[in-house]
Amino acid sequence: MSHALCVIVGDGIGREVVPVAVAVLQRLLPDLRLVEAEAGWDCFQRHGVAVPEATLQAMQGCGAGLFGAVSSPTGVVPGYRSAILTLRQRLGLNVNLRPVRSWPRVSPKAGVDLLILRENSEGLYSGREHWQEEGVAIAERVISRAACSRLASMAAEVAAQRQARRITLVHKANVLPLTCGLFRDTCRAQLEAAGWGAQLDERLVDVAALQLVAQPEAFDLIVTSNLFGDILSDLACHWSGGLGLAPSLNWGNGLALAEPVHGSAPDIVGSGRANPLAAILSAALLLRHHWQRDDLARRVEQAVEGFLREEWRADLAGETTRVVAQGVLARLA
């Protein structure tokens, strides 16, 4: 099997952490072919578009991509739409996968090992906003049976891979009976048909948030909608050491785009303080779920674990990027 990777560094510290993750993949996949592409706020300022057609074509040609980070304006900018939302929607990356696990020396609690699968293309992130009248703005929440079915299908696949002991559907159907009801009923029916009925339960999103704070180790696989999953996964990543260790994978239609969850962090660009562990762990998700190399993904995770246990210091400051890169790569030699 040949391996190709579309490399999109994006904005800010993406330029610093992505090369480290690429070096990790090159160590494990000597035949890896790299294709560089552009996307993000800087790209928009240069070219007037956040995601050029050439980038979409490069992703489709490679099948796998690694995206660094994106800066976004806080207000409306004519013609601009979030680069990562555009990539997800234009490429059919319908599912977002976010693992959360305890790591030595950086996690505040041992024994956490959960995975959040979130629908990635619609919900309140569908981009349907308009003014109803002066002073009243409307956002439309889109939930489709087709998108829920794709999510449930991938949830069944992941559940089998990790031999899930529990699958929790998270929704708010008591308040949103049409949209959350459609999400819940579609996912439940498909997961039951796939043989996961005995492991299946449900939580309202507010209860799930409370329980993720109080008892995160009780969860295994969480399946939820776009906005709920975005919020819950950021909440849950506290248990893995914060956003600096939070990986993700945008997944669907034979394509996969790995993406560290942290932002572009313009305040530390060029300082050497950017932590590449989230990008490295995102690359591990590509190995496991796109290239079907669980053995190599485990090697990456073991290298990260060994580095954190043996070398990590909170005061690395301006040496963080270099020390992490050297420490993880040394353990993959």
The CA-based dihedral angle spanning residues 54, 56, 60, 64, taken in that order and rounded to the nearest 10 degrees: 110
Token match 């049409």: residue?
178
CA distance 229 to 235: 10
Which residues are known catalytic residues?
Answer: 125, 172, 206, 230, 234
Instruction: Show the beta-strand stretches assigned E in the chain.
Output: 4-10, 33-36, 64-69, 95-101, 113-119, 129-133, 136-139, 167-171, 200-204, 221-224, 249-252, 255-258
| Beta pairing, strands 136-139 & 167-171 | unpaired
Tokens at 189, concatenated: 């029916």
CA distance 125 to 40: 17
Which residues, at least 6 apart from 114, have a Cβ–Cβ distance to it below 8 Å?
Answer: 99, 100, 101, 216, 219, 220, 221, 222, 236
CA distance 310 to 333: 17
Nearest by Cα to 125 from 269, 284, 263, 250: 250
CA distance 35 to 29: 15
Tokens at 160, concatenated: 């089998």
Which residues, at least 6 apart from 78, have a Cβ–Cβ distance to it below 8 Å?
Answer: none
